[in-house]
Amino acid sequence: KQFTKCKLSDELKDMNGHGGITLAEWICIIFHMSGYDTETVVSNNGNREYGLFQINNKIWCRDNENLQSRNICDISCDKFLDDDLTDDKMCAKKILDKEGIDYWLAHKPLCSEKLEQWQCEKW
């Protein structure tokens, strides 16, 4: 599913402030990682990254490509490609708690300042 900034802001509002990260930061990260598209799969150094949050199959989820995954989120990676963001958010929060926001490489260079553009206007 292709989200818009405002629709995604609505879906992710419960993540605002989790681990000290604002909703605008999440929206910015997701834009740069997956373009707000839940069906994004990227192959990267022999691993695959899935969905809005680009969660990888080496550590966080399991797929047919990597049965040795640590699968910390205890989930099949393809669950991150559907329209239900509940499991995506759960796993992203777990990643944030364990790895910190720099797990998402877009954060530091692109999403740590000038965040006004990532806010949805209707608030």
87 appears as a binding residue in the annotation: yes
Q: Cβ distance 29 to 111 under 8 Å?
A: yes
88 appears as a binding residue in the annotation: yes
Q: Cβ distance 33 to 111 under 8 Å?
A: no
82 appears as a binding residue in the annotation: yes
Q: How many residues comprise the chain?
A: 123
Best CA proximity match to 117, nearest among 14, 27, 53, 32: 27
Three-class secondary structure of residue 88 per DSSP: helix
Span between the terminal Cα atoms of the chain, in Å: 24
Binding positions are: 79, 82, 84, 87-88
| Binding-site residues for Ca(2+) | 79, 82, 84, 87-88
